[in-house]
Structure 1
Amino acid sequence: MVAIPLPLSRRRAGQAVLLLLVLALVAVSIVRFGGSAEARPGYAVPQDGQLEGALGIRFTQAAVVADGGLVELRYVVLDTQKASAFQNDTKHPPRLRNERSGKLAWRAALMKQGHELRPGQSYYLLYLNNDNAIKRGDKIEVTSGQRRLAHVPVR
């Protein structure tokens, strides 16, 4: 088979289309993944120094995902030893309670990364959203043992 060279203008047009596709991919990636939840205006998760000191983590986001079937609870590691203990306690994950309706999401899957935790790194828990207990716009209370973090907005 012999390659037939394209005229110079068709080659440049192909390169221009390829360049536009790459730029579009970069733009979509920046919009989709560029900012963190805490950097977006109008979204702030309350903080509790005692809870953070006890668990070694800071909750940063609660979001309804998977077409409403799951609730994702994100956190950042502050203290690796305490955060490891928190993450390894698979029998007692935090419970999520809708402050408006009182409904609970308690069935969780811990999303372990398979390596040692790193300070500043984000991790997450996924919860089955039983009976649509939690909806976007709600505020939830996160309970871990005797500690509670109230008024966490759900995205």
Structure 2
Amino acid sequence: MKIVIGSDLKGFKLKELIEMHLVQLGYEVEDLTPLKVNNYYDATLKVAEHIQANKQDKGIMIDEYGVGPFMIANKLKGIICANLFDEHSARMTRAHNNTNMITIGSGIVGDRLAEKIVETFAAANYEGGRHQIRVDMLNKMC
């Protein structure tokens, strides 16, 4: 599994910090927006389209609030994205919803909490079972 990461201008600093943190934890990370880009729309599509093509990978997108990229990503087939603000949600959305992409708002979530959120998301596994019915329903929507 690889973790792909992207950001717009407002999320760039936090993206760099998160990327370094994940690499230190031993994850393979690919930065899809190594240069500062102003538009979260294009950056989100880069991350989501990578996940569509590489289903085993996970994606992280960072902008100022996380909401715009969250809405964009969830319009794409095969993407189940959550906008996260805490570690518990990071674990549960992965375990129960098979979330393959998350968004984080750099203007809302501080550096240390963001590190814990992505660490938890990256390590969490999908439980399947009774949750698969809901995941199938989500995937039928696109």
TM-score using structure 2 length: 0.27
TM-score of the pair, normalised by structure 1: 0.26
The structure in which a higher percent of residues are helix is 2
- Structure having the higher Rg: 1
